Amino acid sequence: MSAKPIRWVMTGAGMPLVPTEFDTAALAPNEVVVEIAGCGVCQSDLDHYYDGVCTKHELPLALGHEISGHVVDAGADALWYTDRAVVIPALIPCGRCEACLRGRAEICQDRKMPGNDMHGGFATHITVPVHGLCVVDERRMAALGIDLADLSVIADGVTRAYHAVVRAGVRKKDLVVVHGLDDVGGYAAQIATALGGIVVALDEDDDRLAAIRSAGVALALNSAQMAPHDVKSEIEAFAARRSLPRSGWIVLECSGTRAGHETAYGLIDHGATLVIVGSAADKVDIRLSDATAYDARVIGSWGCPPELYPAALELVMNGRVRICQFAEKHPLREINRVFEAAHAAALKRHAVLVPEL
């Protein structure tokens, strides 16, 4: 490294992020240093951490957990990764605990999250454990006109959506309703479509609805212009026109709002599956016994185990899930402007911050 690495650190809730030089520490045998190509801005970076929720690592701390880059240094047990392009899991499990060993790495209690448990990806470099790194074929990536920074959104936006769709058990010809198309929801709608689902997308933003229509969803509705019962009636009419089942719908709630949770819960019917992907801070007014009356499933979906990352990446690499038209790159030095724009809901696409190396 010709110049010292730089990370943009949070020093207090809502305070401007500050660039700080640092030295990479001596590597453990199972660690690597990644030169960051891009780091996506997730809403949780703002809502959960920047706006005042305590991080596990003391401040100052670099946020950011959607990271892609090149391995530039490796510990003794990780030399195979040297010079490879990788996507870093947003949640890095330990790989040894009871949850990891039974295939539930997403609930590992010893997991490490960049930008929370450790310094994150709003930086030029990051040191991470090697467990779960997802290797990228750069030749295929270049052939698609995608650069490595674009693939940073795999690390949470795409994989969290993929995990939710897999947990829901989406199959060919299932009617899938995706509520909320900001980042994760937009990817969820595409993934469910790619896996054969007939997708109805709901959002309050006409630009996002237009973008998801171009990505191939079957129906896109502006839920802000409809009462909740009218939304359900419209979907029922659509299902009838397409000769789709009137029961067994799959509903993915990705908006992370109280209204979104209540609307999504109101869509459950006989044999439905509701997956809560977006987190809402407000309490929600629902009647849980509806799930009993309809013999429905309500599932919470958190993160994504690293073993699912290659399959999610493959959907992007084979062109079935688009990311470039739903994301846009900004220089890392403009991080404070980007955060302000995100707070003002002025970003129309998933922001990716790119260091000037």
CATH of domain 6-156+304-354: 3.90.180.10
Domain ranges of the chain: 6-156+304-354, 158-300
Does the domain at 158-300 match CATH 3.90.79.10? Answer given as no
- pLDDT (tens digit, 9 = 90+) per residue, 208-231? 999 999 999 999 999 988 888 899
pLDDT of residue 243: 94
**Distance (Å, whole) CA 341 – CA 347:** 6
Domain 6-156+304-354 shares a fold with domain 158-300: no
- pLDDT (tens digit, 9 = 90+) per residue, 75-100? 999 999 999 999 999 999 999 999 99
**Distance (Å, whole) CA 340 – CA 345:** 9
Structure tokens at 112: 């490490």
Could you tell me which of 91, 89, 88, 87 has the C-alpha nearest to residue 106? 91
Could you tell me which of 285, 287, 326, 317 has the C-alpha nearest to residue 201? 326
Angstrom CA distances, 349 to 16, 86, 238, 310, stand at 22, 23, 29, 24
pLDDT of residue 357: 57
What stretches in the chain show pLDDT beneath 70? 1-2, 357
